[in-house]
Amino acid sequence: MRRLTIAALAFLCLSTRGAAAPAAPSRFALIELFTSEGCSSCPPADGLLQKLSADAARTGEPIAALSLHVTYWNRLGWVDRFSNEAFTQRQGAYARHFALRSVYTPQVVVNGEREFVGSDAGSIERALREALGQARSARIRLEAQPERDRIAATCQVSDAPDGSVLWVAWADREDSSSPDRGENEGRRLRHVNVVRSLEHTSVRGRAFTSTIHLARPSSVAGSVVAWVQRGEVGPVLAGGVVPIAAGSSRPH
């Protein structure tokens, strides 16, 4: 486990013209893995996220499992091309929310309510069962339309309390790297559900609709994930996922 003081996924089948997820059921769980290709403790957590994502797809459980690569290990010699300072800042906000003395990798946050070392399978699975057992009043309907190098995500949010925030992410289904420097030098690293674009907006009113455009670095297969949190890093209240096929796009 690496630490640094704070001064630092049933999916619907998709046509190539886009798709919509129905208003999400009250059951939903979000897994956020904060990881880095520069951290030697992270590959086991990356592997666990792959397993949790595959298990959810097989069983149809409404779980979104996302990988967010942070920036603060880039200084060790290998620059993680999936890292984004916005993800580092989000992890820092979680650290303050959970009153942690430091940020660290690998870290998993389940539904904005519990945090664990990213390779702690037992604790994460228990937190997922707990999250999926909770009834939630908020709903979200998500539509996603690929447009060349971006995705237009339209979200209809209902019954979310005041102060809620809508988050929308584009995630590549699979990515990989072979570092030639840093702590993982010589290893082949494989990732799933790698967040490449993350946007948010405040939810205004009990019936709220917003269209958010997400960058899509390449036309690989992936998914749009949208969720509503109480505040920016509070409990997750609702969520939805739309998968996007590789190469799908339409003219602007």
Assigned CATH class of 14-244: alpha beta
Q: Can you give the pLDDT at residue 69?
A: 98
Pairing of strands 29-35, 63-69: parallel
Q: How confident is the model over 117-159, as pLDDT tens digits?
A: 999 999 999 999 999 998 888 999 999 999 878 999 999 999 9
Q: How many CA atoms lie within 13 A of 149 on its CB side?
A: 2
Specify the pTM. 0.89
Confidence grade of residue 222 (pLDDT, cut at 50, 70, 90) = very high
- Among 194, 198, 169, 221, residue whose Cα is nearest residue 16: 221
Q: Can you give the pLDDT at residue 155?
A: 97
- State yes or no: pLDDT of 252 exceeds 60: no
Q: Can you give the pLDDT at residue 218?
A: 81
* 233 within 8 A of 27, measured Cβ to Cβ: no
Which tops the pLDDT comparison, 33 or 3? 33
Q: Can you give the pLDDT at residue 242?
A: 96
What letters, b where the CB count within 10 A reaches 16 and e where it falls short, cover 131-157? bbeeebebbbbbbbbbbeebbebbbbb
Q: Can you give the pLDDT at residue 7?
A: 36
213 alpha-carbon distance from chain centroid: 16
| CA distance linking residue 204 with residue 171, whole number of Å | 26
Q: Comparing 4-13, 158-167, 188-197, 233-242, which segment has the lowest mean pLDDT?
A: 4-13
Q: Can you give the pLDDT at residue 178?
A: 97
- State yes or no: pLDDT of 59 exceeds 60: yes
Pairing of strands 102-105, 189-202: unpaired
3-state SS, residue 100:
coil
Confidence grade of residue 8 (pLDDT, cut at 50, 70, 90) = very low
Mean pLDDT of 183-201: 97
Q: How confident is the model over 17-53, as pLDDT tens digits?
A: 455 655 544 689 999 999 999 999 999 999 999 999 9
